[in-house]
Structure 1
């Protein structure tokens, strides 16, 4: 009793239990029946029962939750203050950029430097109305044709001849009829716009041409319909010339007439493929015709199942490099037009930029162009015999092994002379 106490035992009750008269001592004599029954009825009282905690949140946990809630509110408040603190700086930076762009836009387009065009483009990218409506190629060129106009207060702007973007000031939608709806429409501030890039398709649609009434002195960026149309024509002509040059650079199309090349140019789509992507699998029809602009492809042929003589177990499919394709080369013409399975697997060795033509578009060409393509184009690679593939595979494996030996010998020689690559002695 006086020794080490055990947690969970009611020692006063244990002493009272041990003091029952009639219990046996040291196992010498038997306990009486009455003492035994009394002991069995009372022995459970020597164990302390845990206190029952009523349902609810303990005060300690409640305080922790309250503390966590206060901490979260403090963090949210701090973040809100940080945003509010940064907001004036962002607004100031935006206003400075707009001012720089306005100064550049007030120059004639021919007088704008490359730096001016970059400032204008950076400003235009801030406004979603431009970045979401215009393709990237047009957005990059729009800075060279846009102009800025300054309008005094209470002047009417007609939006039928171009696209107008608010840089400073505000305007309110206005119609010739002066309807009540105009009074309920919100004002158009910085970043807002009216008008359109292209003329409306129909003037009889029932919609009145949109106009705007200036509420203060305004600086407005304008893109005229004629300027935008000229920009689209220039981009289309440049794109057409690039695709035409891409086809002409391939060896099979050097002597083609211009009319037939134009037919193919209209069908080409430019696409970029990452390195190590399988473009064509051996035994399958090519999924497109490709004209390589930049990058390189590797052509592989399977050499079947090889049994490793050392292990005598495990079968692996090996491939041998039969050719490489680079710039100014094409593939897939014969496979697509004649639906012939490809005799090799084509994998991109580097990032590949190519112009591709889908099979559906190619088959819709006129018969003269298709016949001309079948006469001039050749299969991407011929099917090698098993003996040729095996010889080429052995040659490439020996070349790899020899390169490995040279690298190892050179590395050992440098190491024994105390030379580390990139560090010297």
Structure 2
């Protein structure tokens, strides 16, 4: 079938799929559950399939965003509890209620819309593939603040080159200035249908024919203008740039850097999230990237070669000792990446980590001044300890672990023999475990 035919591979989507955080890349034994679910939900986007011409108004030959009319399928799951979901009348009423609520919110000025209004609009927009497939999540989340609604009477002409339109009520008939018999057979676009584009169309020549739509009844149409969408993209880009710039300037080694060099690094940063307990850097290998930590914490480990278990050499029987930690507004990997030096330590995430990273290939394009500044200001992530120092630190940490275990055990035994159990206090309804302890140890419990 046409839906199953594949004409090629979208390599942009493929590269984005391979960069999913937590996905197994050879260093990890297996992918995280979240990364696996995201991969399975997104892998079909890498396949290119034959394009179909939907019954909508295309604008120009490139950059068109148009989809077939659709109903509110996602609303079928929003029928109030206690009612029969199979009753079409109740589904229709639920759809009408949401549409009316959205129209009421859109008729307010963008500055007057409350957080609840924006959330309702955002919830509805997520139900349409014309938004979810064409817009990034960040733009989709904020586009509800620039959308407006227009009311059109019957038999009015609506030109589609002014923005993107989504029909909330009513229906329209697509036409062109150059009429033909085929146009008379085109179906009308109803509720859920869309036409137009988010960005101005790029006309290849002056021979393009202008398209328009004729309203068949009173219509309520959501509109996103080209200028509003362009301003939204500029605001998001400026916010991302400012956040990346503050991320670098927040690191103590970059406080006195000149503005120009900071800008060079800011353009190279990519924001990425790492799950907890993920190995970012392996001792003895070059760091895979330079990282600037935004949120989260990492542990720095060093291997103890003298404590290798011979029976577990193949299974990773090398002991490690904690030699330091990395936290918010700290960086690592500059010296290792720029000088191609193996890392003297292993870095593992303790909590979920949000960081800005710069790939080694991106650093190769930097000017010599910025590279020299990075080597002068950045310090090694950790100093290489001697074997004796590592052994002493290992023994100290092991003694602390053993002492903590003894304290917890003594405290647990003391609470148990005195009839004190977690969740069974004086005013707790379920106190069966405490009564059992009192029955077995009557001499341990003071009289009431």
TM-score, normalised with respect to structure 2: 0.73
CA contact (8 A) 2:291 2:331 kept: yes
1:69 — aligned with what?
none
SS in 1 for 2:210: coil
1:339 — aligned with what?
340
1:181 — aligned with what?
182
1:287 — aligned with what?
288
Alignment of 1:129-168 (within 5 A): 129-168=130-169
Spell out, residue by residue over 1:262-292, the C-alpha distance to the aligned partner (whole angstroms, 9 max, x if none). 1111111111111111111110111111111
Q: Which runs of 5+ in 2 are unaligned?
A: 1-82, 426-433, 435-448
- 1:307 offset after TM fit, Å? 6.4
Structure of higher CA gyration radius: 1
- 1:92 offset after TM fit, Å? 2.5
Structure with higher RCO (Cα < 8 A, 6+ apart): 2
Q: Distance in 2 between matches of 1:359 and 1:371?
A: 15
SS in 2 for 1:160: helix
CA contact (8 A) 2:175 2:213 kept: yes
Q: Distance in 2 between matches of 1:189 and 1:156?
A: 16
The alignment status of 1:209 with 2:195, answered yes or no, reads no
Q: Distance in 1 between matches of 2:205 and 2:272?
A: 41
1:227–1:286 Cα change, 3 Å: same
Spell out, residue by residue over 1:359-394, the C-alpha distance to the aligned partner (whole angstroms, 9 max, x if none). 111111122111111111111111111011001101
SS in 2 for 1:104: helix
1:159–1:313 Cα change, 3 Å: closer
Q: Distance in 1 between matches of 2:379 and 2:90?
A: 63
Spell out, residue by residue over 1:320-353, the C-alpha distance to the aligned partner (whole angstroms, 9 max, x if none). 0011111010111111111111111111111111
CA contact (8 A) 1:195 1:210 kept: no
1:387–1:188 Cα change, 3 Å: same
How many residue pairs get aligned? The number is 341
Q: Distance in 2 between matches of 1:245 and 1:90?
A: 49
Q: Distance in 1 between matches of 2:86 and 2:255?
A: 64
1:124 — aligned with what?
125
TM-score, normalised with respect to structure 1: 0.77
- 1:86 offset after TM fit, Å? 4.5
Q: Distance in 2 between matches of 1:154 and 1:180?
A: 20
Q: Distance in 2 between matches of 1:97 and 1:87?
A: 16
Q: Distance in 2 between matches of 1:286 and 1:346?
A: 10
1:412 — aligned with what?
413
- 1:183 offset after TM fit, Å? 1.5
